[in-house]
Amino acid sequence: MPTNPADGAILGTLYGSDAMRAVFDEHAYFQRMLDVEAALARVQARLGIIPADAAQAITQAARFENLRAEELAASARNVGYPVVGLVAGLSRAAGEAGGWTHWGATTQDIMDTAGVLQLRAAINRYKERLVELARQLSQLANRHRATVMAGRTHGQQALPISFGLKVVTWLAPLLRHVERLDEISPRLLGVQFGGAAGTLAALGDKGIEVMQALAAELKIAVPVMPWHAQRDSLVEFAGWLSLVTGSLGKMAQDIILMAQSEVGEVSESAEEGRGGSSTMPQKSNPITSELILAAARHNASLLSALHHAQIQEHERATHGWQVEWLTLPDMIMLTGGALKHAVYLAKNLQVDEAKMRENIHRANDVILAEAAVFALARAMPRAQADKLVKQACAVALTEGKPLVEVVKNLLAGALPAGAVDWQALAAPQNYLGETDKIIDRALKSASHFLG
């Protein structure tokens, strides 16, 4: 039975995704290792290192069903790694050709290269999710480009913004994450083949040729050299995973704050019973956002472990590798789940435009203070305008009156007629600055990504 909630049949629905589990379950991992062993045999046969019929037999035998789980478990428990048992099972299944399996390779070559194949599959799924999420957020932003709400700084109402602008602040980092992924993938998705100590000595003068041919067979990159104790690319990828969930966490945190009962500007969905409480009928908890935040914070913590694992001694290390086994799959799974939840939010988010307006007016329109200062500064010294508006803010909050009305009353005709368009000043939608252009720029950037 799984002890990690992300792996359970019940609690696992809250974390991860079925698509990512299919890539990283134990069965899939062992099949990837068998795929690497088979590919190695084929390229070595083409290079005249092992017999062609042996490569054919090894390839045909390289199926997970030919292995015995109890033998694999016993071998891993005894040796500390799964490959010895895997090679024994593959060799047995290949019959007389079995003696040619794993020729010139070492355990870490097979495990790391299998891991790279898993990472490639994971990256493809991440890109699919990111495309879907970017498309949904783009549509949401465009739909609400003119939906006025309070922009908040330090948790306080600051200036009017549009909800569409807030949405593109969730969107823009995702586009950069796709660029980052494209940049790091060639460094990350490289074959591991170095033999026992990274010299390829068992293959004589054919070692590098085999490494290059194996990479071509598996359609992955050829590194400058074997990277047994060089784990920077994996740590870089882990950093990318944490960046992605961190950006999704910002989106989730915003939604949680806007969904508070006293704010009520959004809710996660209209789905009946979603986020319900066992004892409080009125509750509709932002559970999807909570799960995204949990993934983001946990990934940030796990990233530290990968940085520790990067410190590996000599030509092949003692324990850093095992730290990766415990850490990186969890980060990959949590990121897949966070992306899945974010897509749900982008599709189903309920936006209360009236409540957004109401929250501005309930604060007596003090969100228009900067707008009032700059409007008055065209007709009086800036310092005088600033002082008057500060006074007006205090009155508006104390007496519960709209700020612009208070400013107008305090001036009591002191300005020339027509110096200030009071009606226009009192409309928050008139102080959105370059919001529309910013949204357009973000959506144009997304359109290049979406195709």
CA torsion through residues 407, 412, 417, 423, sign? positive
Contact 295, 15 (CB under 8 A): yes
User: Is residue 1 assigned to a domain?
Assistant: no
pLDDT at 450: 80
pLDDT at 246: 97
Nearest to 102 by CA among 56, 38, 48, 52: 38
pLDDT at 275: 58
Whether pLDDT at 224 is above 60: yes
For 266, list phi and psi in degrees, rounded to 5. -140, 165
Contact 404, 396 (CB under 8 A): no
Please list the active-site residues.
277, 316
User: Is residue 39 assigned to a domain?
Assistant: yes
What's the mean pLDDT in 6-34? 84
Task: Name the domain count of the chain.
Answer: 3
Question: Can you tell me the distance from the alpha carbon of 310 to that of 315, in angstroms, rounded to the nearest whole number?
Answer: 13
User: Is residue 337 assigned to a domain?
Assistant: yes
For residue range 281-327, what is the model confidence (pLDDT) as tens digits? Answer: 454 788 999 999 999 999 999 999 999 999 888 888 888 888 888 89
CATH number for the domain that contains residue 96: 1.10.275.10
Q: Are residues 180 and 203 in the same domain?
A: no
Which of the four pLDDT bands, split at 50, 70 and 90, describes residue 278?
A: very low
Residue reference for tokens 């993938």 = 185
Q: Are residues 310 and 212 in the same domain?
A: no
Which of the four pLDDT bands, split at 50, 70 and 90, describes residue 15?
A: confident
- What are residue 149's DSSP bridge partners? 161
- In the chain, the percentage of residues whose pLDDT exceeds 70 is 96
Which of the four pLDDT bands, split at 50, 70 and 90, describes residue 448?
A: confident
Cβ burial 65-101 (10 Å sphere, 16+ → b, else e): eebeeeebeebeeeeebbbbbbbbbbbebbeebbebb
Whether pLDDT at 121 is above 90: yes
Whether pLDDT at 348 is above 60: yes
156-162/148-153 β-pairing: antiparallel
Q: Are residues 71 and 28 in the same domain?
A: yes
pLDDT at 273: 59
Contact 108, 228 (CB under 8 A): yes
Tell which of 172, 202, 223 closes a domain. 223
Q: Are residues 186 and 255 in the same domain?
A: yes
Helical H segments across 259-362, by residue range: 287-309, 320-348, 353-362
User: Is residue 11 assigned to a domain?
Assistant: no
User: Is residue 3 assigned to a domain?
Assistant: no
pLDDT at 199: 93
Q: Are residues 271 and 327 in the same domain?
A: yes
Which of the four pLDDT bands, split at 50, 70 and 90, describes residue 99?
A: very high
Whether pLDDT at 279 is above 70: no
For residue range 154-165, what is the model confidence (pLDDT) as tens digits? Answer: 999 999 999 999
Q: Which of 14-18, 137-141, 255-259, 401-405 has the lowest mean pLDDT?
A: 14-18
Q: Are residues 347 and 380 in the same domain?
A: no
- What are residue 266's DSSP bridge partners? 351
- What are residue 162's DSSP bridge partners? 148
pLDDT at 316: 83
User: Is residue 2 assigned to a domain?
Assistant: no
DSSP symbol at 416: P
Contact partners, residue 18, CB within 8 Å, separation at least 6: none
Residue reference for tokens 């602008």 = 165
Q: Which residue range forms the structural domain that includes residue 87? A: 16-105+193-223
Q: From residue 172, how far is each of 137, 166, 183, 415 by CA, in Å?
A: 10, 10, 17, 44
Q: Are residues 211 and 250 in the same domain?
A: no
Could you tell me the two tokens for 269? Answer: 């969905």
Contact 161, 151 (CB under 8 A): yes
CATH number for the domain that contains residue 277: 1.20.200.10
What's the mean pLDDT in 95-124? 95
Q: Are residues 152 and 241 in the same domain?
A: yes
18 or 216, higher pLDDT: 216
On average, the pLDDT of the chain sits at 92
pLDDT at 277: 47
Using CB atoms within 10 Å of the CB of residue 215, give its burial: 0 to 12 exposed, 13 to 18 middle, 19+ buried: buried
pLDDT at 12: 74
Q: Are residues 323 and 399 in the same domain?
A: no
pLDDT at 111: 94
Nearest to 305 by CA among 238, 230, 248: 238
User: Is residue 236 assigned to a domain?
Assistant: yes
Q: Which of 10-24, 170-184, 188-202 has the lowest mean pLDDT?
A: 10-24
| Greatest distance between any 2 Cα atoms in the chain | 103
Question: Can you tell me the distance from the alpha carbon of 44 to that of 56, in angstroms, rounded to the nearest whole number?
Answer: 11
User: Is residue 23 assigned to a domain?
Assistant: yes
Which of the four pLDDT bands, split at 50, 70 and 90, describes residue 276?
A: low
For residue range 392-434, what is the model confidence (pLDDT) as tens digits? Answer: 999 999 999 999 999 999 988 778 878 889 999 999 999 999 9
Q: Which of 190-194, 204-208, 271-275, 279-283 has the lowest mean pLDDT?
A: 279-283
Q: Are residues 269 and 285 in the same domain?
A: yes
Q: Are residues 153 and 246 in the same domain?
A: yes
End-to-end CA distance of the chain: 44
Could you tell me the two tokens for 109? Answer: 């070559």
Q: Are residues 240 and 380 in the same domain?
A: no
